[in-house]
Amino acid sequence: MTDPTTPTATRLHRPSWRDGRLVVGVLLVLVSTVLGSVALARADDTVPVFAARSVLVAGQRLTPADVGRVDVRLAGSTAAYLSARTSLPPGAVLLRDVRPGELIPASAVGTQDDAAVQPVALLVDATSAAVLTTGSVVDVYVNRPDPEGVAAAGATAYAGPVRSVEAVTVLRVSGDDGVLGSRSATRSVQVLLPRDRVGELVGDVDGGARITLVPVPGSPLGTPT
C-alpha cells in the first residue's frame, strides 16, 4: 500500500524589485497619479476677467455696476483682458464700444484724456428721443434762430435744420424733462461728441438753437416711451 503524498507547503516570498509585475504596478500607480494631477490642474486653470453687463460705449466712465466677473480659460496672454483679480482702475474710461457679455480688452480702457470723445447732455425734442437708448447712433441736427426770419407774434423764427455732427453715440437717455406749459416736451439725452465739436454745439445751444437727434440706418433702438 502506497503512503499518501504529503503536500509541500509553498513558502510566500516577499516581493522583490526584481519582480516585473511589481515594477509595472508601481509605474501604473505613478502614471495615474500624475495624469490625475494634470487633469485637476487644467480643470482649475482659469483666470478672472471683467465682462460687460450691458452695452458700453466709448467715452463712458466704467463703474462696478457696468461689469461682472467671469472665470475663463485663455489660450493666450491673460494681459489682453481687464483682470478681475483687483478692482477697476480709478477713473477708467472706455476707449471703444463693448457689447453685452464681451470680455473687456485691456486696450479698450484708458483715462478721460485718452478718449477722443466727451459726454455732452443735450435737451432735445421728446419725439426724437423716444426711440433712443444707450448705444444708439444718431446724427445731430441744429436749427438756429433766424433774426431776419418771419414768425408769428411772440415766436422765434428759425433758419431750418442743418446736420451739425454725424454718427455720434448715445450714452444715456433721461426720463421726461418736459415743463408744464411749454410748447413741446423735451428730453435730456447724453451723447458722446468728438472733442473738437463740443464748443460749436455748446454755442448753438446757448444761442437758442433747437436740437434734434436722428438715428442713422441700422442703429440700435429702444422701445418708444
* Each residue's pLDDT tens digit, 80-127: 888 888 888 888 888 888 888 899 988 888 888 888 888 888 988 888
- Please determine, for residue 42, whether its predicted confidence score (pLDDT) is greater than 90: no
- Please determine, for residue 183, whether its predicted confidence score (pLDDT) is greater than 70: no
Average confidence score pLDDT of the chain = 78
Supply the pLDDT for residue 179. Answer: 40
- Please determine, for residue 138, whether its predicted confidence score (pLDDT) is greater than 90: yes
User: Which DSSP string corresponds to 65-101?
Assistant: GGEEEEEE--SS-GGGB-BSSSPPPTT-EESS-B-TT
Please name each of the domains of the chain with its CATH number.
Answer: 47-110 (3.90.1210.10), 117-215 (no CATH)
- Please determine, for residue 175, whether its predicted confidence score (pLDDT) is greater than 70: no
Q: Which residue has the higher pLDDT, 23 or 91?
A: 91
Residue 37: pLDDT band (50, 70, 90) is low
* CB-based contacts of 96, cutoff 8 Å, min separation 6: 58, 108
